[in-house]
Structure 1
Amino acid sequence: MPVRRWSLPLLVTLLATSAGSLAAAGAPAQPAGQLTTAWHDGALRTDPAGLVSRSDLVQEGPAWRAYQAMPLGNGVLGAAVWAEKGFSAQLNRVDTFPGLKSAGRLVVPGLQPLMRASDYTGRLAMYDGQLVQRGGGMSARSYVRADADQFVLEVTGADPGKSQTADLKLWEGRTPTANATGAVASLAETFRDTASGSLTGAVAALTARARDVSTSVVDPLTVRITFRPNADGSFRLVVGVPSYKGGDVATAARRAVVESKSQHLDWWHAFWAKAAPMRITSADGTGEYVENLRTLQLYTMAASMRSPVPSTHGAVVRMFSSAKDQADWAQDSYWHFNLRMIISTNLGAGIGEFNAPYFRFYLDRADLMKKWTHDHWIGAVGTCVPEFLRYDGTGDGCDNMSEPGWVKRILSSGPELVNNVWWQYRYTGDRALLDRAYPLIRDIAEFHLAALTPGEDGYLHLEHVNALEVQWDTDDPAPDLAAMRVIFPIVADLASSRGDEALAARLRTAVGKLPPFRTVQRGGEEVLAWSGTDEEAHNTQNPEMEVLWPWGLFDETSELMQATYRQRVYPQDKDWGMDTTWAARLGLADEVKRLMLKGIQDFQIFPNGFTVHRTGREPVRQQSFYNEWGGVLTTGLQEALVQSYDGVVQVAPAWPSEWDVAGSVEIEGGHRISTEVRDGVPSLVGIQAGSRESLRVRNPWSGQQVRVIDSRGRTVVGPVADDVLTVPVLPNESYVVERVAVPLSSFTHVRLTGQPASAVKTVGTRMLGVPASEPPMLSDLVTVRTPDKLSNLVKAQPGAEIYVDRSYKITDLPTALTGQAMIPGSNEDSKLTAPADYITMDLTAPATVYVAYDPRGENDWWPAWLSTFTRTGETVGTTDQRLILFKREVPVGQLALGPNSGIAGKGNSSYLTFVTKP
């Protein structure tokens, strides 16, 4: 079987910081044909501010809808910011278990003039970790401090004589303590977990740096601060959101808003100076779009991964939610499968420190996982890491006492954790992590040794376990066989170094007795099987492809692996699929590009770059921002540019020829490999060595004479035309691999930089950034009190969206309604029969109120309250359903309209409401 020889440094991942580069945007024009490079004096010389700003998310108009919200965060506290009600920011901590409840929403209506200004501009400025908006002579700068759990809003250009308000709000179902003391208003709430008894919580405390500040409790769910801007028209709002487990609310709130000298910009600038750069250009703009997504992924890691626990639950990054307390999946638990691509992304990008929450989460729960294993696995020795693990250390997995299920018997998560610890050590040199993790590493190995059963064929078999979530109760899953082949030698060496020769011997013996991978026929080709048996599929993963990544046991020369890839059963149908990385490891450059662009179209439905879990989704209906596909794309990009998992460094082994790139990738040993690729051909290869060793580097220009020079211009290797070069390197030294015919000296240095993004980017139907759109309508006639989700009025006209949770639009409507105020519907409520006052509104003058109803409910589920309206004989056309129009004359004051349906369990499209003057 053509299996690539295993070596301990193994694996693939890349990090980066050096490389030749395209002539930078804004740099002086170079003479035709002149070669340029950003590699200079031993490093890739970049302008991080200019380079990162290429990927800023531009707001050509305000983000009026919650799904357009921009993410801000410091790794513990996150904010989703959009323009509803003037300015809205939902605040979320990463640790309010078990439900990760929001700390509240900040609403500042006084920013309406800015948002509605004809000269409005906005951008998520990632280099500074800020959202900056301007318009109408005003500016608003918002950010979550990198060095404190505080959200800050700084405003200039406000009318100094006009009083302003800012509210902190929660919503129905929440039970906070509301407090207003002096210049600080706050909401505080704690959460007791009935399963574990743990207590978590948060206080959100609001104050203003302004004049005449006062506070009040508006209602049990709302507190308000009232103030006048400073004499120069500026004011500053600070919302402190620390962890809170009870006690005096006023004291906790006062402490939460104390401000120290901010290190916010210094922190973000240092982050970008360290992260591996990558600049991509292309004729069709797709390369720039992909670069933007990678930059966003690195930004998201810095903004979300600095807590004792990871920020991603089942791929949902809850701390950036704008959907109140709603989210997909279990927010108190983690699936290991949805974290793996984040680990590889961070290592390859040179920001491995942001993997710390992942390692802390599992290591802090090592004893709890061991107890779980012995309580739920008959015959257990050591520790099994559950695929699904709750924050309190209890799991759903590693269980052979109950019937097989989704995660009950997935055993590959533990070996993958071992491998990730090893990667982290090899990339970063973090010996303390390796030493701390060794007891758990040893216990995971012991569990797998004990779980193996000798067979009559002389092999050791893993029986009655899962192949990921795909096959239940199968034998010898491909991921598990690959995992043991990889980690047993690693753990054996670690055990030997600690004097445990008995364990080392058992592991080395066992790895030699593992059965070969089974093959089957699929699509007329011999391919790897999912496992040793043919159990039915329950999920759409590709277990057999795991042997390529993360386990690295095959390479592009394997015909069996190439066929397995071609015939995989589920090609990238979920956002977790590592297809781009598999394609990169198989040298399939065209596939890398195709799959990335397909993934953008399938998953990246939000203008902030976040994604959804599967195809066929629309943003207005989704309530969770997914983060894992950003890790999938970034890992794939890094693998396409630099690979080293088999012990040989390959440059641009699968880089799409239509994309020119200048960038860096970090590899095992802490080395940074930098290159520039034009038309599919690297120019130079720079090496910044992180440790002492001899690197094996494949000749990037097959058959051509090359040499390796150090930073002082001395020849280290060559000239040779060998396929693989052996390059001795020393830590903190730099080297260049160059063609003899095109040496470094023939290049002109041009620093790698860029110009700030100036427009929304698009690929197909997807976009990054917020286009200009119709704002919510302001009416002097009607205000909606309840429900809050229908409180934004819509200007009735063709093209206007009719529901808050669907993307259907008006196609035509009577002239009398055109340009009037419409209260949109909510199709989630299409079968509601209560409350009787479903919509309540205030009318400042007598009005004509119209309701447009789904004709499918006539003589069936139409509610009784509709009989108080008169049929007009007209209709409203929509892309969903043509609706029948009714009207009623109503007096000044409050009006209540009932629910959509009059019969429980029945109802179709929800009604629309229009309000006009008589």
Structure 2
Amino acid sequence: MRYIFLLVVNLTIITAVAQIHKIETPESGMQNTIAFDGKELRIDQSAFLSQHDIVYRSPATEGYNGFPIGNGDLGAMSWTPADRIHFQINKTNTWDDAPDGMFSPWEDRNNPEKSEMFTSLRSCGQLMIEPGLPAFDWMYLEDFEGRLSLADAEASWKAEGPLGKIECRSFVAGGDIPVMVVHYEDELSEAVERRVKLARWGSRVFEHWYQFFRRDFHLGNEGTEVGNEGDEIWIIQPTRSLKFAMAAKLVGQNITAQKFNNREAGYVMNPGNNCSFDVFISVVTSEEADDPLAKARENVRAAAEASAGKMYAEHKERWADFWAKSFIDIPDDYIENLWYMNLYQVGSSARGDYPPHFINSIWSWNRDVRPWNHYYQWNQQIYTWPLHTSGHPELMMPYAKWKREGLEKAIKTAKLAHGVDGAFYSDVSDRHGNQGVGEGASEVSNSFGSSGLMAMDLWRHYQYTLDDEYLKEYGYPVMREVVRLYTNILQKEDDGMYHIPKALPFESPKDRLSKNTTNDLASIRNLFPAFVEASKKLKQDKQLRLKAQEMVANLAPFVLTTIPKEAKPWGPVNVGDTIIAYGTRLRTGEPGEPWVTRPYWLPNAPIEMPCSFHPINAQLSPVFPANLITLDDKGTPLFNACRNMALSFDPLPNNGHSLIPISYARLGMSEFLPDLLERWVDEFQLFSQGHFCYFKRDFIDYVEKGMHDELYSSAEHTIRGLTNNVRVMFNDPEEKIGLLRQPFAHMALEPGSVLEAAINEMLLQSHGGKIRVFPAVPEDWTSRFKLHARGGFEVISERAGGEVKYIVVKSLKGQNCRVVNPWDDGQEVRVRQVGSTKNLFKKTEVNELTFKTEAGKTYIIDRVNKPVSSFELQVISGIKNMDAKIKGRARIGIPRQF
């Protein structure tokens, strides 16, 4: 529900119409207007973001539809059952660690004593505000609004009915006083007690709930201590490796706290018709303070002294700075909404000591339940992919620190698992860098791709930030040891070339063991030159640098094959067309026969069903994230092979951690992207606040294994039914039961981040040393953006009627800049610094604009015959969203249901 107004337009008319539906200025008008005022985009940021608020016109009664709020480290999932406002409080570092050492993520099926004993991230506890009447029960409501405001990262609720009125709002402050703040007030129909409870009800983790579980009900609940003094309450929870304290202070009622039981403490308000108070909550671990309880109590006292109002003002200012870093405006309001929502939730959860877990991040709602409990590298890295282009490299740092801190153990693992020097990062690991390469984990033990992918992630951060201290402390040490690993894995053969002798594509079973795996070759071609550049810059490791240069110069080529005759390709490609394989598969013949090889393209042809398994991601890795195939390569055999590969399969996979959407954008396949994005949302955006799950809506999971009933869809979390054939551990004879599936509903970071990254790549690309604007947008898209490019550049551009109006580049580091000329019709182009008329561009035969920059200076690229001064200025704004949004089977928000 956006409106964009000219400075001379009657705003009353615009507003009246925009309340009904999204308004776009007519195409003819858009072609003659811009929002760039000569220095910056003119945006009413708060108003623009308000159109993307998440609005509930009916209460969210289940936690998985709650509102996420957080300061990047401390967070809460918040929702409104019939009789209370419920906050599940979580943190990025409340760990319960297993004994140190390598482990197998799968071995507990044969060693059941290991189940529930892996390293896990524990919830902090629950805060419950109980008004004493069922004021959120839809039976007794006349009006209701729940709102997650993105501009100021605040959740609020208003309920009104015959039982009375309730208003509540909450945010999580960062800065010097990291606390959650809750303001509550009501006016009820009768004088009743209100209760506020702080509790910790832990639970089993159920890390493999879809296969087996153990009936040890005490797990997760041991050792809880509850205390109170004056108007403060607290809970202390020990784990195997640390302890954490959660403290709360209630201000405004002048009452004394009390202990309710061994896991709950709180406040009981005297009966009355009116009530108003503030609650401040802090969580501190023993890894952050010697006395975590004392520090937590210090935090809530400082917040109370500062006041909720002052805390909110500072909080709002921090989020205004956050949103000022980037901006997109595309024709599809719903998908644009999800772009902002994904960036919001990562910004709210990725500032702690450890990266947000790809399952539930800090938005777990059901005690300690966290299916897929470990850090899985393929899934975990994906949240970082859009961050740099979206202007927030700082959100990458918990990931980079985690990988750097695990380097020594990765070096030990390379020796133990493969007998070589270097660093081996498994597909599965824990927070301390212990690698999942134990017995029964061959599918991860023989995959080197995670090491290469992760090192490329760390290099990408440097490409955007040019932060030399980061490179020296974090990026380079890891890159060096992964390069060392690969130099010891590669083998020189009679052809004079270096080959990967034996490896697996990403997370693949051992029957896909291959030679010259595509993802490894792509990693080497990306990483080795990056290491050489960094090594020269830091003047280190000359001998390894020379070895890497020689090896990459003589590296085996990617394996190409053709679409087999039995295949049924999804897109406009044909049997016999060349595609990129994921390597040359190693297969054994009869007993005693030697190994034989054949180029391998996918496990199951013909292709009649969507397929998302990791070989496809391996095959597309030269496009992304290795950045080896760019639009500069268009028409080359390798470009065509990758494009044919991308078109061979239905781009909507069974799992939402696929490279296909980003690869479509990287390859300029704009004609396919609008439909793909809509289908992506329809299948993977399952939760009302805009969260995604990695399982698609219609995915039938493990049916062929007889592990679930055939009607079970692993992502259809809101259906209350049974997950059948779940094995009960330690039972003899073996027992299988049906578990309730609803309690295991969980969000996942991957599909939302893939969507955000794909949109970024449609609007701006900067790999290959040059900037391209709108490289993959549909011809009819009217769009604009403020995004970031490699080399330390901030880029602004607008487009309408199939025509780019201008490009603005702000240089943050003073690097030389190369921009692909978007006007290929011979129009005269100029480059000038803001405030100057001097043309910095000297015409060349190449369709690129190359110019020197100064740090902190802004440069305008436009056409001489249609300069930015010829357009009429407009301001970008928006109308506050007031209801749920629907797209296909997906929705953002909850409509009125009473």
TM (norm. structure 1) is: 0.76
Per the alignment, residue 864 of structure 2 pairs with: 740
Aligned counterpart in structure 2 of residue 463 of structure 1, from 501, 526, 536: 501
Q: Does 1:637 find its partner at 2:759?
A: yes
Q: Does 1:752 find its partner at 2:789?
A: no
* Deviation by residue 1:123-142 (Cα, 9 ceiling, x = unmatched): 10111111122233432111
The Cα shift of 1:280 comes to 3.0
Per the alignment, residue 776 of structure 2 pairs with: 654
The Cα shift of 1:53 comes to 1.6
Q: Does 1:170 find its partner at 2:200?
A: yes
Per the alignment, residue 291 of structure 1 pairs with: 336
Structure 1 residues 678 and 247, CA, compared in 2 at 3 Å: closer, same or farther?
Answer: closer
Structure 1 residues 772 and 305, CA, compared in 2 at 3 Å: closer, same or farther?
Answer: same
Q: Does 1:109 find its partner at 2:107?
A: no
- Once structures 1 and 2 are overlaid, which stretch shifts more, 85-94 or 711-720? 711-720
Per the alignment, residue 144 of structure 1 pairs with: 172
Asked if 1 retains the 8 angstrom alpha-carbon contact of 2:834 and 2:859, the reply is yes
Asked if 2 retains the 8 angstrom alpha-carbon contact of 1:278 and 1:663, the reply is yes
Structure 1 residues 573 and 263, CA, compared in 2 at 3 Å: closer, same or farther?
Answer: same
Per the alignment, residue 727 of structure 2 pairs with: none
Structure 2 unmatched runs, 5+: 15-24, 97-119, 204-217, 564-574, 586-598, 605-611, 699-714, 719-741
Per the alignment, residue 707 of structure 1 pairs with: 830
5 Å-filtered alignment, 1:348-363, equals: 348-363=389-404
Per the alignment, residue 39 of structure 1 pairs with: 36
Q: Does 1:669 find its partner at 2:791?
A: yes
5 Å-filtered alignment, 1:165-564, equals: 165-171=195-201, 173=218, 174-175=221-222, 176-192=224-240, 199-228=241-270, 233-244=275-286, 254-255=297-298, 257-260=300-303, 261=306, 263-275=311-323, 276-282=325-331, 287-312=332-357, 315-330=358-373, 333-378=374-419, 380-397=420-437, 405-437=442-474, 438-470=476-508, 472=510, 473-497=513-537, 498-522=539-563, 523-533=575-585, 534=599, 537=603, 540-541=613-614, 542=616, 543-556=618-631, 557=634, 558-564=639-645
The Cα shift of 1:259 comes to 2.7
Structure 1 residues 709 and 212, CA, compared in 2 at 3 Å: closer, same or farther?
Answer: closer
Asked if 1 retains the 8 angstrom alpha-carbon contact of 2:450 and 2:506, the reply is no
2:125 is aligned with what amino acid? G
Structure 1 residues 229 and 474, CA, compared in 2 at 3 Å: closer, same or farther?
Answer: farther
1:145 is aligned with what amino acid? A
Structure 1 residues 723 and 234, CA, compared in 2 at 3 Å: closer, same or farther?
Answer: same
1:211 is aligned with what amino acid? Q
Task: For residue 334 of structure 2, give the secondary structure of its aligned residue in structure 1.
Answer: helix
The Cα shift of 1:363 comes to 0.9
Distance 1:274 1:251 in 2: 31
Identity percentage of aligned residues? 21
Aligned Cα root-mean-square deviation (Å): 2.9
Asked if 2 retains the 8 angstrom alpha-carbon contact of 1:211 and 1:229, the reply is no
Task: For residue 669 of structure 1, give the secondary structure of its aligned residue in structure 2.
Answer: coil
Distance 2:283 2:562 in 1: 57
Asked if 2 retains the 8 angstrom alpha-carbon contact of 1:21 and 1:663, the reply is no
Structure 1 residues 345 and 606, CA, compared in 2 at 3 Å: closer, same or farther?
Answer: same
Structure 1 residues 206 and 585, CA, compared in 2 at 3 Å: closer, same or farther?
Answer: same
Distance 1:386 1:279 in 2: 36
Distance 1:229 1:154 in 2: 19
Structure 1 residues 232 and 614, CA, compared in 2 at 3 Å: closer, same or farther?
Answer: closer
Distance 2:49 2:561 in 1: 47
Per the alignment, residue 692 of structure 1 pairs with: 814
The Cα shift of 1:659 comes to 3.8
Task: For residue 583 of structure 1, give the secondary structure of its aligned residue in structure 2.
Answer: helix
Per the alignment, residue 764 of structure 1 pairs with: 888
1:76 is aligned with what amino acid? D
5 Å-filtered alignment, 1:595-610, equals: 595-610=676-691
1:125 is aligned with what amino acid? S
Asked if 2 retains the 8 angstrom alpha-carbon contact of 1:22 and 1:36, the reply is no
Asked if 1 retains the 8 angstrom alpha-carbon contact of 2:405 and 2:432, the reply is no
Asked if 1 retains the 8 angstrom alpha-carbon contact of 2:245 and 2:293, the reply is no
Asked if 2 retains the 8 angstrom alpha-carbon contact of 1:207 and 1:257, the reply is yes
Per the alignment, residue 76 of structure 1 pairs with: 73
Distance 1:229 1:680 in 2: 65
* Deviation by residue 1:785-812 (Cα, 9 ceiling, x = unmatched): xxxxxxxxxxxxxxxxxxxxxxxxxxxx
The Cα shift of 1:353 comes to 0.6
The Cα shift of 1:702 comes to 1.8
Per the alignment, residue 566 of structure 1 pairs with: 647
2:484 is aligned with what amino acid? E
Distance 2:776 2:342 in 1: 21
Asked if 1 retains the 8 angstrom alpha-carbon contact of 2:155 and 2:169, the reply is yes
Per the alignment, residue 717 of structure 1 pairs with: 841
Distance 2:677 2:894 in 1: 22
Per the alignment, residue 683 of structure 1 pairs with: 805
Distance 1:96 1:131 in 2: 24
Structure 1 residues 158 and 424, CA, compared in 2 at 3 Å: closer, same or farther?
Answer: same
Asked if 2 retains the 8 angstrom alpha-carbon contact of 1:481 and 1:517, the reply is yes
Asked if 1 retains the 8 angstrom alpha-carbon contact of 2:179 and 2:281, the reply is yes
1:663 is aligned with what amino acid? F
Asked if 1 retains the 8 angstrom alpha-carbon contact of 2:623 and 2:663, the reply is yes
Number of equivalent positions: 737
Task: For residue 239 of structure 2, give the secondary structure of its aligned residue in structure 1.
Answer: strand
Asked if 1 retains the 8 angstrom alpha-carbon contact of 2:147 and 2:157, the reply is yes
Asked if 2 retains the 8 angstrom alpha-carbon contact of 1:127 and 1:269, the reply is no
Distance 2:677 2:40 in 1: 29
Structure 1 residues 396 and 665, CA, compared in 2 at 3 Å: closer, same or farther?
Answer: same
Asked if 1 retains the 8 angstrom alpha-carbon contact of 2:652 and 2:679, the reply is no
5 Å-filtered alignment, 1:742-891, equals: 742-773=866-897
Per the alignment, residue 87 of structure 2 pairs with: 89
- Once structures 1 and 2 are overlaid, which stretch shifts more, 243-252 or 472-481? 243-252
Q: Does 1:154 find its partner at 2:227?
A: no
The Cα shift of 1:251 comes to 5.1
1:288 is aligned with what amino acid? D
Distance 2:509 2:853 in 1: 46
Asked if 1 retains the 8 angstrom alpha-carbon contact of 2:193 and 2:271, the reply is yes
Per the alignment, residue 110 of structure 2 pairs with: none
The Cα shift of 1:652 comes to 0.7
Structure 1 residues 686 and 253, CA, compared in 2 at 3 Å: closer, same or farther?
Answer: closer
Structure 1 unmatched runs, 5+: 1-19, 193-198, 775-918
Structure 1 residues 750 and 722, CA, compared in 2 at 3 Å: closer, same or farther?
Answer: farther
Distance 2:745 2:515 in 1: 38
The Cα shift of 1:244 comes to 4.6
1:216 is aligned with what amino acid? Q
